Homo-oligomer: A and B are copies of this chain.
Amino acid sequence: MKPNLAVTIGGVNMKNPVTTASGTFGFGREYGPYIDINRLGAIVVKGTTLEPREGNATPRLVETPAGILNSIGLQNPGADYLVEHYAPYFATLQTRVIVNISGNTVEEYARLAAKLDGVPGIAGLEVNISCPNVKKGGMAFGSHPATAAQVTKAVKQATALPVIVKLSPNVTDIGEIARAVEAAGADGLSVMNTLLGMAIDVRKRKPVLGNIMGGLSGPAVKPVAVRAVWQVYRAVKLPIIGMGGITTAEDALEFILAGATAVAVGTANFVNPRATLDVLEGIEAYLVENSITDIKELVGAAHR
């Protein structure tokens, strides 16, 4: 018997729990030659801002042990372009599209959310209050419960779309932030964004990245991400999209057992463009092997 894989993240109905991490999967199309993206539960697309942005200076990426540091800095064509050029494509897909949004001010987040409200093809918003790669906004909002709540409330008021807030691991107490965001009305949480890190070129005696610091992702951060999901699951009732270093189905199952309802694959796409489907197929095989009829039985099971 085929197990039931369908899950719901705060109103976004996914036919299975596997999605993509924002910024690692472009707008979906780029991976078209390698996989059928319609098989995924959802795709989360590149971080979008109200105005177009050129992003940070290069180099923007450096490999680290079992990980990468990136400082893309939210390069994107802006919300108008997204609505005009990408949303019609999203509307043709047989998977949900979640748009990741960022702003410099609370008001900008709200205006952006309002602009995307009701656009056909967009199933939900992921609110990035945790980007370590931008000067204004970004991680600053996600570092304190009050500002995190403010952004959440403003976005909720501006849109009828499901609002998933993406948390930063670069905080003393991620549970506290999660509670504030829950109280402010979020429909779901994404856990986690990248860890703040840097690398230095010992020959040039300068930071490697053009932007000095960057966000660490990939297998290296998985233990931190599993812990973050574990803590957030204990802190709030909201459904969680877990991510951070997921490469295999086994990795994904760690997140689900820790409390994630869905999982996103990020950096692993670069290594294996089939990673999302490998994860999906592996989860399904695990359920069958263990005679589990519904994926939801596993969510948070390691707490019990």
Contacts and interface: CB of A to CB of B under 8 A. Distances in A.
Interface stretch (A43-51, A149-157, A195-203): A195-203
A18 to B, nearest CB: 16
B66 A67 contact: yes
B202 A227 contact: no
A254 interface: yes
Given A220-B220, A302-B207, A200 B66 contact: no
Interface residues of A, number: 44
B226 A197 contact: yes
Contacts of A253: 200, 202
Interface string A102-126: 0000000000000000000000000
B250 A227 contact: no
Nearest to A139: B172
A302 B223 contact: no
A261 B107 CA distance: 44
A199 B207 CA distance: 31
A35 to B, nearest CB: 23
B65 A219 contact: yes
A171 B144 CA distance: 12
Given A66-B220, A67-B220, A223-B67, A200 B245 contact: no
Contact of A224 (B171, B172, B200, B216): B216
Most B Cβ at <10 Å: residue of A223, A298, A301: A223
Contacts of A250: 202
Contacts of A222: 64-65
Contacts of A199: 223, 226, 254
A86 interface: no
Interface string A285-298: 01000000000001
A213 B227 CA distance: 7
A202 B254 contact: yes
A200 B69 contact: no
Given A200-B226, A200-B254, A65 B245 contact: yes
15 contacts: A65-B66, A66-B66, A66-B219, A69-B223, A143-B173, A171-B171, A195-B224, A197-B226, A200-B258, A202-B286, A205-B257, A205-B298, A213-B227, A216-B223, A216-B224
Given A64-B219, A67-B220, 12 more contacts: A67-B223, A171-B171, A172-B172, A196-B227, A197-B227, A198-B227, A198-B230, A200-B226, A202-B257, A202-B286, A213-B230, A219-B220
